[in-house]
């Protein structure tokens, strides 16, 4: 797991990625995390970020998108 960045520029870049990427219907992030509706998962996290950034309490929404990005890009290689 890499260190995630929560500065404004990094978060904006992550949001652009999330809005411009085509997602599969389902993703398995870990042994305990199965996402059955990836589009809804992404939209929910984007909504939290949009409503609450830069409140650090909502950094887990950013972390979830980073983890999804790692999973998606790792599967493409």
pLDDT tens by residue, 20-75: 999 999 999 999 999 999 999 999 999 999 999 999 999 999 999 999 999 999 86
**How far apart are the C-alpha atoms of 43 and 22, rounded to whole Å?**
13
SS3 at position 15: helix
Q: How many CA atoms lie within 13 A of 18 on its CB side?
A: 26
Q: Dihedral (C-alpha) 15, 20, 21, 22: value to the nearest 10 degrees?
A: 140
Domain boundaries, the chain: 8-76
Global pTM reads: 0.90
Whole-number pLDDT of residue 77: 43
Helix (H, G, I), strand (E, B) or coil at 23: coil
d(CA 46, CA 30): 21
């Amino acid at each position: 797991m890499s260190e995630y960045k929560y500065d404004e520029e990094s978060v904006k870049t992550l949001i652009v990625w999330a809005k411009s990427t085509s997602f599969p219907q389902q993703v398995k992030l870990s042994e305990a995390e199965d996402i059955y509706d990836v589009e809804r998962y992404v939209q929910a996290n984007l909504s939290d970020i949009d409503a609450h950034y830069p409140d650090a309490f909502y950094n887990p929404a950013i972390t979830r998108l980073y983890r999804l990005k790692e999973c998606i890009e790792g599967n493409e290689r």
